[in-house]
Structure 1
Amino acid sequence: MKKYFIYCVFAITAFGCSNMEKESSADAIEKIENGEAVMEAKIIKTADMKFRVKDVQDTKEKLSAVLKAGGGTIAEVSISSTIQNTEKVKYKTDSLLELTAYRTEGMILAKVPSEKLDDFTNKVARMAVFVDHQSMKFDDQSLDYLVNELKSINRAEATASMEKAKKEPATVQKNVKQQLAMKDEYVDKKVRNMSINSRVQYSDVTLSFYQDHTVKQIVVGNDNLSDYHPPFFQRLVINLQNGWFIFKEFILILFNMWSILLLIAGAYFGYRYYKRQQKKKLLA
């Protein structure tokens, strides 16, 4: 079973048994150098755009439809609004008009079939009111892909040779560790090439878009309680009524304290009588 492990991994990683894998890495390099084999180009395309639109939400929906129709996919999407300024003005006694100025921005990370990248970016540009920035990059990964492929062949051959060779009991454990390390590295190289193939087939596109500052009007409840006070004349009548009520209460309090008032009056007149008597004695 171990003998066929490396070839099963080869099949699972979707590369198949190519002609290059049927020969040694040295033979493959020699054929490329002699022009007997052509190295496949692995060009990774990426695009980046920033543009202004009339409506962010509407543009997001249109971009999603264009991507779906063109065989693309969305990896990430986000829409955010940033408040620039806000103010509340009086609308009615119990309500205010809240004015909010904000800026809305959108961002989409998408994957587009590489052969349709130019057509897609042109469609996006036609959606824009103004294009702030647009760029496209081409990254040639052909040599990295070839290096990974040849190293994978070397590791497959080395692992197969180690499995066929007779092993001494003392070296079995060491040999197993070596095989495991080589197989792991083999898988890493194949997965790396799978990633390159995926990025070659589907280009990464970053779309950043925004709209003009928008002013939103909302009627909200008035939280300034002083605005709920009655008009001046109504408050004047209420205060007169309150004053009359307070005066009556004061009279009632005085009458409720008649005994204390009587004592105070008696003490006062007694003091005056005492003073007069003292004055008469001094004059006599």
Structure 2
Amino acid sequence: MAVASSLVFACQNAEKYDSSNASTEAILDSNSMDSIDEAKIIKTADMRFRVKDVQKTKEELSKSIREKGGTVAEFKIESNVYESQKVKLSSDSLKEINSYRTEGYLVAKIPAEKLDEFTNSIPKLAVFVNSASMKLDDQSLYYLSNKLKVENRVEAVETINKFATKKEPNVGTSLYIKDDYVDKKIENLSIDSQVKYSTITLNFYQDNTVQSFVVANDNLYNYKPSFGNRLLLSLENGWFIFKEIILALSNLWVLFLLAGAGFYIYRTYKVKRA
């Protein structure tokens, strides 16, 4: 009887396992068909090109992106000075000459269906295109995996709550599964957003520009008076110093008097001894 009951129990488990596998495969097949109908393909593009004017190109790109329903996520314009020189024009002014290159960086979100149209319009703004690339990343299977895991977590939470007791409510396990459920939902929402709006990165630059302008002379030596004025000032300053020395010595007349008296006494004593 023990052997017979074991065989019956094994057969029942085998039937349950087969039915469970069959239902799982049915879910996978149905969701796989859904994923094929709604493929989750993320498009990204990168371009580098030379333009005549970086600032004007940035304005035209922003206008074109808005017209196609996209948004500018990030942009930066930077000028790098390669050579700088200052030439003297007068005692208080210099002519500064700079050679620099201006570069632009722009990241935009474009509706996926208009990405090709937008990339085809860029060469019209460029002198020539250095490089252009596009990448298609199929996230359908990952999206399907998250979707199935979400369904499993909903079922697991319902089961835990159904069999939970006051002594063992399994709150920690339930919260962990719920948090993981939220993460999977957020990942799928992120994929949906990236599928709907493609990301394009644009790097553009212009030829080296030479610019000159007049600036103040920052060498303070050039602001000194002429030689004649400095010589006259030096003579006046010397006469002033000489008078100050005379005045200082006149304040020491007592010391001179004592020194003279001491010298006289010394000479008198020396003569008497001789």
* Same fold (TM > 0.5): yes
Partner of 2:82: 84
Query: Out of 169, 172, 180, which is 2:168 matched to?
Result: 172
Superposition map of 1:200-219 within 5 A:
200-219=195-214
Partner AA of 1:157 in structure 2:
E
Shift of 1:47: 0.3
CA 1:173–1:201: 2 relative to 1, 3 Å: same
Q: Say which of 114, 123, 126 aligns to 1:125.
A: 123
Counterpart secondary structure, 2:72: strand
Asked if the contact 2:42–2:137 (Cα under 8 Å) also holds between the matched residues in 1, the reply is: yes
Matches of 1:62 and 1:37 in 2, distance apart?
38
Shift of 1:225: 3.4
Match of 2:13 in 1: none
Post-superposition shift, 1:195?
Answer: 0.8
Distance 1:139 1:168, change over 3 A: closer
Determine helix, strand or coil for the equivalent of 1:219.
strand
The answer to whether the Cα contact below 8 Å between 1:25 and 1:150 also exists between their aligned partners in 2 is: no
- Tell me the TM-score normalized by structure 2: 0.72
> Which residue number corresponds to residue 256 of structure 1?
none
Alignment of 1:6-85 (within 5 A): 26-31=25-30, 38-85=36-83
Q: CA deviation at 1:70?
A: 0.6
Change (3 A) 1:183 1:25: farther
TM-score, normalised to structure 1, is 0.69
Paired residue type of 1:29: L
* Separation in structure 1 between the aligned mates of residue 49 and residue 25 of structure 2, nearest angstrom: 50
Query: Are the aligned partners of 1:47 and 1:137 in contact in 2 as well (CA < 8 Å)?
Result: yes
CA-to-aligned-CA distance 1:48-68 (integer Å, 9 cap, x gap):
011111111111111111111
| 1:157 paired residue number | 155
> Residue 6 of structure 2 corresponds to which residue in structure 1?
none
Instruction: Name the CA shift for 1:91/1:122 in 2 (closer, same or farther; >3 Å).
Output: same
Once the 2 structures are TM-superposed, how far is the Cα of residue 235 of structure 1 from its aligned partner? 6.6
Query: Are the aligned partners of 2:35 and 2:140 in contact in 1 as well (CA < 8 Å)?
Result: no
Q: Gapped runs of 5+ residues in structure 2? A: 1-22, 248-255, 261-274
Equivalence for 2:108:
110
C-alpha distance 76-217 of structure 1, shift in aligned 2 (>3 A): same
Cα RMSD for the two superposed structures: 4.0
Structure 1: gaps spanning 5 or more residues? 1-23, 253-259, 265-284
CA distance in 1, matches of 2:34, 2:54: 54
1:245/1:159 CA distance change after superposition, 3 Å: closer
Correspondence 1:208-247 to 2 at 5 A: 208-229=203-224
Q: Cα distance 1:239–1:168, how it changes in 2: closer, same or farther (>3 A)?
A: closer
Deviations 1:103-159 (A, max 9, x none): 211111111101000111112221111211111001111111111111112222232
Contact 2:143 2:191 in 1 (8 A): yes
- What percentage of aligned pairs have identical amino acids? 52
Q: Secondary structure of the residue that 1:54 maps to in structure 2? A: coil
Residues 80, 106 of structure 1: 8 Å contact kept = yes
